[in-house]
Amino acid sequence: MILSEALALYLESKSLGIFGEDIFVGLRPAEPVECFTIYDTGGFIPKKDTTSDPTLEIITRDKSYHIGLEKLKEVNKYLKEKYNFWLLPDFIWVYYIEAQGEPKKIGRDENGYHLFSVNYHLWLKYY
């Protein structure tokens, strides 16, 4: 399982949506309009130990400016400054997740729907 899929399942466990229905990984479908997508965005130079420093971006899309922004703020509440937990039990240990900024509007999609984004840096270890 890739990191973004594990994070999608974690956010599903917090009742923020359903993976495959309104939480997506890597590709945002045309429907539903109200959704969010998690993108693997690379990371930092690998450390000289067994940990990893990946980065992710989460983008919400909504017809409503306010609902789309609030949805991303709700996601951010579960990820911003989160420390020492199993993202995927016995497989991915997260030392920390750090937001790289506040939720922000990044424009509109090709259909005019509002898009909002936050980038995250993680420090973790795979077992």
What average pLDDT score do residues 109-122 get? 97
Interval 20-24 mean pLDDT: 98
Which contacts qualify for 66-71: CB closer than 8 Å, 24 or more apart? 67/34, 68/34, 68/113, 68/114, 68/115, 68/116, 69/103, 69/105, 69/114, 69/116, 71/16, 71/34, 71/36, 71/116
Question: Is 22 buried (19+), middle (13-18) or exposed (0-12) by CB count in 10 A?
Answer: buried
- Spell out the SS3 assignment of 20-79: CCCEEECCCCCCCCCEEEEEEEEECCCCCCCEECEEEEEEEEECCHHHHHHHHHHHHHHH
Taking only the tens place, the pLDDT of each residue in 52-69 is: 999 999 999 999 999 999
pLDDT digits (tens, 9 = 90+) for 81-92: 999 999 999 999
Residue ranges of domains in the chain, CATH in brackets? 3-126 (3.30.2000.30)
Q: Which residues pair with 78 in a beta bridge?
A: none
Q: Could you count the other beta carbons within 10 Å of the beta carbon of residue 104?
A: 12
What is the reported pTM? 0.94
To the nearest whole number, what is the mean pLDDT of the chain?
95
